[in-house]
Structure 1
Amino acid sequence: ELDTFTIVTTEANAAMRPLHDRMPVILAPGDYWAWLNGATAADQVQALVRPCPEAALAVYAVGRAVGNVRNEGAGLIQPV
């Protein structure tokens, strides 16, 4: 058994665009079932691959330490 995952990306919304041209797909809780149900039609799943609303995100500056994979801890996401 091998546990794996994939991060599915889409174009960036207006809040993320100043940082990068794409972002992870963030599903609304009401869309979880459609995403995970193997019987869902491909076009229905494809419709879920879209930028999330800007209001669903909190965008703020953090310290430079967040960019180093050797650093860990909740302090990395504290606003500066």
Structure 2
Amino acid sequence: MARDASSVQQHDVDALRELGLTDVDVADIVFAAAARSFFTRVLDGLGAQLDVETAETFAPEILASLVVGRPVAEV
């Protein structure tokens, strides 16, 4: 969805339902992915970087997902 939202088909949604997700769950996933994509593009478009203090509050695996394409600002 994040790479090409227009490629999502009904069978993709059905596969999530088969895993036990509800329509609300699927919508939450779409909303979260869209918000993350929007937020990343806005920050990249502004040349903004995550500050060190905020970066230090995240576990390494979470931090890695937050700084895709742009490193944490240096002190």
Superposition TM-score tier, normalisation by shorter sequence: under 0.3
More strand, by proportion: 1
TM-score normalised per structure 2 = 0.25
Structure that is richer in helix per residue: 2
TM-score normalised by the chain length of structure 1:
0.24
